Chains A and B, each alone.
Chain A
Amino acid sequence: MDFNYLSFIIFVPLLGAALVAFIPGLNRNWIRGISLLTTLVSFGLAVAVFALFDHSRLGMQFEEFYTWIPAINANYHLGVDGLSMPLMVLTAFLGLMVVLISWKEELRAREYFAWLLLLEASILGVFCSLDLLLFFIFWEIEIIPMYFLISIWGAGRKEYSSIKYVIYTLFGSAFMLAGILSVYFTTGSLNVVELTRNGIAAGAIPAVAMFFLLLVGFAIKLPVFPLHTWLPDAHTDAPTAGSVMLAGALIKMGGYGIIRIVVGFFPEVARDYSFWMVLLAVIGIVYGAAVTLRQTDLKRMIAYSSVSHMGMVLLGVFALNEVSMTGASLQMVSHGLLTGLLFAMAGFTMHSTHERDLRKLGGLARQMPVATVVFSIAGLGSLGLPLTSGFAAEFITFTGSFASTAFEGIKILVVISVSGVVLAAGYILWMLQRVFYGPPQAQFDHAHDATAIEKVYMFAFVILIFAVGIYPAALTDIMKMAVMPLIK
């Protein structure tokens, strides 16, 4: 038997969570140390999977298969392909980063790190599961740590935001569960690989019904306009590490689910409804960007920009073309890095200045030069500057969608959606200008620049952003191999 990479990647953080939560009398250094060590091991293994990944092979790799509940044909089935592997690595990376970002957390540190590690483990589980029941279980587990993270360590209307997040997600997963049950009833299988390969023959339950039941759950998470309203609240009120995980990894579960499960299982239905989905995507892109322009709160602004950027994922997916779907997959990874860093930097800025109102901030370039540079790189990546990952992802998505033949007139919609990029340039540059430039203000003189640990995570993010931007083929090649069979 080969080494079970994926199980270890998922369960090492879980072990860390258990250790942190249940060993009595740990002091803060031990708690941080265990968290750092377990996330580091998990990330190291994820990098090993990335390095050992066979670029020339179609289908799943690193598969693990054990019988779990034979009575309903559910199995412990893990595996990654070119679509899920980059997201898995991204999550492991962010998991490590958020431990560093939270290094100074003092409030109830034991619980805090335990929840953070549990959150990471559950998201990793979602990306690695190839059994619908297992997938759903990991999907649901994630709700609990996020609920606690927002409502204890959050800010603002944290209790409202956390319960709103829970209710939205549970609402979506209720539909998803009904969809999974329908699929299971029609085919008798919960195996994602088999279901994608064999397709789902229409039975007593129409395919359209299953398609939409499954879609609702993922659409809430992505989020798709008009189901996005939980996102700004949750992202804004979550603690910094929570926002990074939410924006960086968690909402990618929605996009991943749409590609792997919704489109993968029902390519014909996806084609039938691609016009409506692309329309929602375009509304999301433009509306999200327009609303972002109006925000005055630093975190809320970044949160709304996510609505716009995730609209591009939806656009790429439902343009149903090999290139556009590859672009959408890359956009998820890129957005995870960029918005992860943006939230980390927003958190850093807020922590340093005790101010998050864009109208009151200003002139910080003088007091915190390193942070200014890093924040600017994240921002420029987010608006799609060449050489950053944002450019590669958006360029591929838009060119792919423009060439799509999914329906008549998609070109017009794509052209409209490109205006989202123009608006992005507006809000990003305006934000950078308002926060960092202009005359330095005396009340921010106490603000300190990045310390050693903060520099570590900032530079790690920056390196990856440029790496993906300069050589996207490292990811796009395998992503293409993964999405190709889905839409043939």
Chain B
Amino acid sequence: MDFNLLKPELTLLVTAIAVILLDLFVSRKGWLTVLSLIGLAVAGFFTFSQRADLGQTTFNNMLAVDNFAFFFKLLFLGITAMVILSSTDYVSKFKNFRGEYHALLLLATLGMTLMAATTELMTMYVSLEVASISLYALAGFLKDGKSSESSIKYMILGAVASAVLLYGMALVFGVTGQTQIGAIAAAIQTSGYSGLMDNPALVMGVVLIIAGFGFKIAAIPFQMWVPDVYEGATTPVVAFLSVGSKAAGFAIIMRLFFSAFEFPESLSLDWGAIYAALAVLGMIIGNASAIPQTNIKRLLGYSSIAQAGYLLVGLATMGIAPASEVIGRSSILFFLFSYALANLGAFAAIIAIGNKIDSDEIKDYAGMGKRAPVLALCLTVSLISLIGMPPAAGFIGKFYIFNGAVQSGLLWLVIIAVLNSVISAFYYLRVVKVMWFNEPASLEKVPSSGALRLSLLITTLGVLAVGIVPNLLFTFAEWAARMLRF
């Protein structure tokens, strides 16, 4: 056991505890933000200094320290830093518990970084719960009616999903007698199954695992929690869960299905087809339900379901065409990164606007182009990226995912996906239209703190930079996609 390899995770844990302790002693709560950011930076530094030692496992093959985990660690740390920066205005609403707020965010991040690294069913489950339980608490942090309601909904449905997942894992364990993903793959291959249907227990196991993780990534039909939680929960937490939780879900799915269920090929064809079907459902239902929404957080909730649909196209590619699987995987990574930038930017703007006007209704965004031109411009760039229009990052992300799918013979799926992108333009642009063309109710300016503006600047410039010169991220994603196989 080499604790050196765990330095980033341990740093997060120590920072979380330190933040709670510090909360007891300082009266200027701004220091909590500073300490959290320092903790994230140190964790990032440790992660980065591991890049020479990548490609090994630790704790008896339970955790992988490889390119793939490296990518996600940096992604999660970046996401959390952006969320903490954008929260500075919002947390001043809390009378108490600002220390706990930051500590829970850090703990959720810890859970997510572990999710990207685990290679064994039990640690997968435990790290998932570390992340989830922190998020349940965070969702209800405002303690008003809607916030509590959303927290309870999230927790109950999340608990059901966890149970389903655990049951699926138990079945897989029952069939293979193994929990380590490499050993599961070996057991499946020696047993000579040629497809899912050969063994009803394995079918059940894999389907239940897909369902359990489907909850995390907001895939149809496991998305029921999304709109209510997005609408009710604390806005920075929604930002966090819309990108962090989703990315972690995809990380764990990719690790598990890539290593454990990749061979025989007929098996991966089967789950690839399931993901293709989920992708179609997610895109169509997500986009269609987003159109009539009047609340921007709800709208982004449905949009995140649709975006998960595009990402599922990448998973389908992974399953259906092992030959182009590197593209399948790296395109998911690329898309997750660009989606994170765009969504964090959008939510940062929504936090600032919501703080001022105390409403998340789209009609109250009228005239934001006049009242807060910078916020409105950043939100517009983010929304354009979510549509997938150049020159924003979202376009290259979609191009990359669809490219992989076409190469695996999924042209039909790509046509459905691009048509859905067109449909999505309709509701995203409606927000743009209200902001720039409708007359404002008042001409009061919308203030925002320096920290929030910084996170807005980083994400917006990031969206444009990745959209115009995507090469760096391409290379990074491709490199990260060459993960350890067990």
Contacts and interface: CB of A to CB of B under 8 A. Distances in A.
B122 interface: no
B436 A159 contact: no
A138 to B, nearest CB: 8
A70 interface: yes
Contact of A144 (B384, B411, B469): B384
A71 B426 CA distance: 32
Interface string A167-190: 100110011011001101100000
Interface stretch (B145-153, B158-166, B414-422): B414-422
A71 B478 contact: yes
Interface string B379-401: 00000100001110001000110
Interface stretch (A147-155, A306-314, A395-403): A147-155
Nearest to A183: B406
A175 B474 contact: no
Contacts of A171: 419, 422
11 contacts: A68-B469, A72-B400, A72-B403, A140-B389, A143-B389, A152-B436, A163-B426, A163-B433, A177-B402, A184-B406, A205-B411
A52 interface: no
A144 B425 CA distance: 11
A148 B399 CA distance: 25
A143 to B, nearest CB: 7
Contacts of A147: 429
A137 interface: yes
A71 B422 contact: no
B409 interface: yes
Contacts of B403: 72, 181, 184-185
B477 to A, nearest CB: 9
B437 interface: yes
B425 A178 contact: no
Interface string A120-151: 00000000000001001100110110011001
Contacts of A182: 406, 411
A144 B385 CA distance: 12
Nearest to A184: B403
Contacts of B384: 144
B49 interface: no
Contacts of A185: 403, 406-407
B411 A163 contact: no
Nearest to A210: B411
Given A69-B474, A152-B437, A205-B411, A181 B402 contact: yes
Ranked nearest first, the 5 interchain pairs of A and B with the lowest CB-CB distance are: A174-B418, A137-B390, A71-B474, A181-B406, A170-B422
B399 A177 contact: yes
Contacts of B419: 171, 174
B470 interface: yes
Interface of A: 68-72, 133, 136-137, 140-141, 143-144, 147-148, 151-152, 159, 163, 166-167, 170-171, 174-175, 177-178, 181-182, 184-185, 204-205, 209
Given A143-B389, A167-B425, A68 B471 contact: yes
A163 B470 CA distance: 29
B449 interface: no
Contacts of B474: 69, 71-72
B475 interface: yes
A178 B418 contact: yes
B437 A166 contact: no
A137 B470 CA distance: 13
A71 B473 CA distance: 10
Contacts of B437: 151-152, 159
Given A133-B399, A148-B436, A204 B409 contact: yes
A182 B437 CA distance: 38
Contacts of B470: 69
Contact of A70 (B421, B422, B426, B471): B471
Contacts of B399: 133, 177, 181
Interface in B467-486: 469-471, 474-475, 478
A185 B474 CA distance: 18
A181 B422 CA distance: 17
A141 B421 CA distance: 15
B391 A141 contact: yes
A223 B409 CA distance: 31
Nearest to A68: B471
A204 B412 CA distance: 13
Contacts of A68: 469, 471
Given A143-B389, A159-B437, A204-B409, 19 more contacts: A69-B470, A70-B471, A71-B475, A140-B389, A141-B391, A144-B384, A152-B436, A163-B426, A166-B429, A171-B419, A174-B418, A174-B422, A177-B399, A177-B402, A178-B406, A178-B414, A184-B403, A205-B406, A205-B411
Most buried by A among B418, B469, B470: B418
A68 B474 CA distance: 11
A147 B471 CA distance: 30
B471 A137 contact: no
Contacts of B415: 174-175, 178
Most buried by B among A71, A152, A205: A71
Nearest to A163: B429
Interface string B336-370: 00000000000000000000000000000000000
B391 A137 contact: yes
Nearest to B408: A185
Contacts of B400: 72
A152 B470 CA distance: 32
Contacts of B436: 148, 152
A68 to B, nearest CB: 7
B421 A170 contact: yes
A68 B389 CA distance: 18
B478 A159 contact: no
B295 to A, nearest CB: 21
Contacts of B406: 178, 181-182, 184-185, 205
A185 B408 CA distance: 9
Contact of A159 (B409, B414, B433, B475): B433
Given A148-B436, A151-B433, A152-B436, A174 B409 contact: no
A182 B407 CA distance: 8
Nearest to B421: A174
Given A137-B395, A152-B436, A170-B425, A69 B471 contact: yes
Contacts of A166: 425, 429
Nearest to B384: A144
A141 B464 CA distance: 13
Given A184-B403, A185-B406, A178 B411 contact: yes
Interface string B220-241: 0000000000000000000000
Contacts of B409: 204
B326 to A, nearest CB: 11
Nearest to B415: A178
Nearest to B403: A181
A187 to B, nearest CB: 12
Most buried by B among A152, A167, A177: A177
A401 B206 CA distance: 62
A144 B433 CA distance: 12
B427 to A, nearest CB: 11
B311 to A, nearest CB: 17
Contacts of A159: 433, 437
B269 to A, nearest CB: 17
B398 to A, nearest CB: 8
A71 B477 CA distance: 11
B438 to A, nearest CB: 10
A166 B384 CA distance: 13
Nearest to A174: B418
A293 to B, nearest CB: 34
Contacts of A69: 470-471, 474
A75 to B, nearest CB: 11
Interface string B119-133: 000000000000000
Contacts of B389: 140-141, 143-144, 170
A141 B387 CA distance: 13
Contacts of B426: 163, 167
